Amino acid sequence: MDGNGRWAQRRGLARVEGHRKGAVAVREVVRASREVGLRALTLYAFSSQNWQRPADEVATLMQLLRDYVIEERAEIMDNAIRLIAIGDVDRLPDFVREPLETLMRDSAGNRAMTLCLALSYGGRESILSTTRALCDMAARGTLKPEDITEDRFSSALQTGGLPQLDLLIRTSGEERLSNFLLWESAYAEFYFTDTFWPEFGRDDLLGALESYHGRERRFGRTTEQILRSHG
């Protein structure tokens, strides 16, 4: 969700005002995602590296996250949305972690859509911690190294319960992954837009989905093979 800071600075506002407006955009995009029937939406809200930002910016982001999980509770529950989080959630301050964990627990049985917040998240960190956990099982003799397949690894990641990643959207003209869902994005379609996150709304999401639907996903195969497999 990139471009909050620049959106604010271009208006002569403090960067944190961009994050505030960004949180409003989150609400609109989550609602639209649910309405169009997405099975899952993952938002990169705070990276492992974002802890290095100025303390007041980190504090504002933590406050916005707390406000979000408290204020959106009714909307999330009424719309049968399951909330999960990926990343080093234990690093979050208690005033964020506690309401977050409460809503995750209470929404665990919801089935219409999964909303996944990436918090204190890093793709490399995630691959490393999963690797460590599997190595630990192998060392204890509960897992054979040859049983560490792609599927086994995928399901051991924190994203293991999510459907495959189909579309990855990056806002604000940046064209890099920035440590987001590195393993999961192997066959994802990428959509880059110059729009800053605070201005990204329902129509922008629909535009990204339209672009996605126009693409041919071959997963390494040829066009002819794809056409044949569709009968």
Active site members: 2, 50
Residue written as tokens 């009714």? 74
Nearer to ligand FPP, 143 or 199 (CB): 199
Q: CA 20 → CA 10, 170, 189, 224, distances in Å?
A: 15, 19, 29, 48
170 binds ligand FPP (CB under 6 A): no
Residues 74, 40: contact at Cβ < 8 Å? no
> What is the size of the binding site for ligand FPP (CB under 6 A)?
20
Residues 109-138, mask of contacts with ligand FPP (x by CB under 6 A)? --------x---------------------
Q: CA 172 → CA 3, 29, 73, 196, 199, distances in Å?
A: 5, 16, 29, 4, 10
87 binds ligand FPP (CB under 6 A): no
HEC sequence for 14-57: CHHHHHHHHHHHHHHHHHHHHHHCCCEEEEEEEEHHHHHCCHHH
2 binds ligand FPP (CB under 6 A): yes
The only residue of 22, 87, 122, 123 in contact with ligand FPP, by rule CB under 6 A? 22
Of 133-162, which residues contact ligand FPP (CB under 6 A)?
A: none
Least distance (Å) from ligand FPP to the CB of residue 10?
9
Query: What residue type is 206 in one-letter code?
Result: L
Residue 199 tokens read as: 């201005």
Stretch that binds ligand FPP, among 22-30, 138-146, 157-165, 217-225 (CB under 6 A): 22-30
4 binds ligand FPP (CB under 6 A): yes
The secondary structure element, H or E, covering residue 185 is none
23 binds ligand FPP (CB under 6 A): yes
17 binds ligand FPP (CB under 6 A): no
Nearer to ligand FPP, 116 or 165 (CB): 116
Rounded to 10°, the helix 55-71/94-106 angle is: 30
65 binds ligand FPP (CB under 6 A): yes
Q: Which residues bind ligand FPP (CB under 6 A)?
A: 1-6, 19, 22-23, 26, 43, 45, 50, 61, 64-65, 68, 117, 172, 197
